[in-house]
Structure formats: C-alpha cells, structure tokens
Amino acid sequence: MSARLFTMQADYEGQPYPQAIYGTSEITLRMIGRDHHRAATIKPVLTLKNPDGITIATMDEWADDWTDAASAPASSRESIHFFDTAEEAIAYRAENGTGGWIFACADKNSGTIFPPRMTPSDILATGQTSSSGGRFIGPAGKIIKQEDVA
C-alpha cells in the first residue's frame, strides 16, 4: 500500500529549481513551512499541495502565515474596506476580525483593508493603492513599505 503525500514546495529567488518536502500530514507541513519561513533570512515563496497536486495554501515572501487557496465561497469578510485613516482601518480590523493586509496611503494616511487571501503583491496588482506610495500593515502588526514589495 502506498501513502498519498502532501507536497510543500519552496521557491527561493535566484534558484533555478524549487525545493520540496513531502509528508503524509498537511498539518505538519504547514508547521514546518511557517517555522522555516519565520526563521529564514531569505524568504521563500511556499506552496502546499494536496496528494492530487492541487494547491491548497500559499505563503509569499511578505506573509506571516499560510493563505488558503480560494476554494471556499467568498463572504462579506472578503470584501475591500476603505477608511479615512489607517488607524480607523486597524481598529475596524481588530474589532471585526476581518484579517487581511491594510494599505496605508503615504500622502493621505487613508487606510484600505484587503481580503485575507490577498498578498501585498496581489494588492499592488489590483491598482487600488496610491501612486504616492505607502505601507502595508499585516494582521500581526508587521509593517512593510510599498517599494519593498514592488
């Protein structure tokens, strides 16, 4: 009898081939990936695939934890929310549990909460960020500048 294996793939910038770890436990691979990502000085893009090769979660170089693939139906918690200030956006996210990155506009200090499944790279690709620049504020308080992502 052969085991059906999950795959965690790590893509490092500048490396021609991804690295892979295989295991029978999705949970164990998620823990290994998250711990490695948090400790690594060079952050990989991680992809977790089920035994059929279908992507079930990803973690880009800016993430704090896994982002599940978009297999579940969208809910109101996955909409984009706009605020006059970044502080209002932070308070709303904490109070309502919406998760997701906040983009704080550099010139207006306005704040936008994006759905939890969107990475900073995804958010920049939407065109809904300020051309004057800004910063991303992660759910765990991690802050990165827009130019670090672009």
Q: Is 34 within the bounds of a domain?
A: yes
CB within 8 Å of 90: residues ≥ 6 apart: 102, 111, 137
pLDDT tens readout for residues 73-84: 444 456 788 899
Q: Point out the domain boundary residue: 51, 68, 85.
A: 68
- Domain span at residue 117? 76-149
Q: Point out the domain boundary residue: 33, 68, 103.
A: 68
Is 130 a residue whose pLDDT tops 50?
yes
Same domain, 23 and 62: yes
Q: Is 1 within the bounds of a domain?
A: no
Q: Point out the domain boundary residue: 48, 68, 88.
A: 68
Question: What is the 8-class DSSP label of residue 146?
Answer: H
pLDDT tens readout for residues 86-121: 999 988 888 877 778 899 998 888 999 888 878 888
Is 9 a residue whose pLDDT tops 90?
yes
Please give the average per-residue pLDDT across 36-64, as a whole number: 86
Would the pTM count as exceeding 0.85? Answer: no
Same domain, 59 and 42: yes
Walk across the sheet containing 19-23 and list its strands: 19-23, 6-11, 45-49, 55-59, 67-68
Same domain, 42 and 83: no
Same domain, 30 and 59: yes
CA distance 71 to 56: 8
CA distance 65 to 38: 9
Total number of domains constituting the chain: 2
Walk across the sheet containing 81-83 and list its strands: 81-83, 111-113, 102-105, 134-137, 143-145
Q: Is 27 within the bounds of a domain?
A: yes
Per-residue pLDDT, 119? 82
Q: Is 19 within the bounds of a domain?
A: yes
Per-residue pLDDT, 78? 63
Q: Is 15 within the bounds of a domain?
A: yes
CA distance 54 to 77: 25
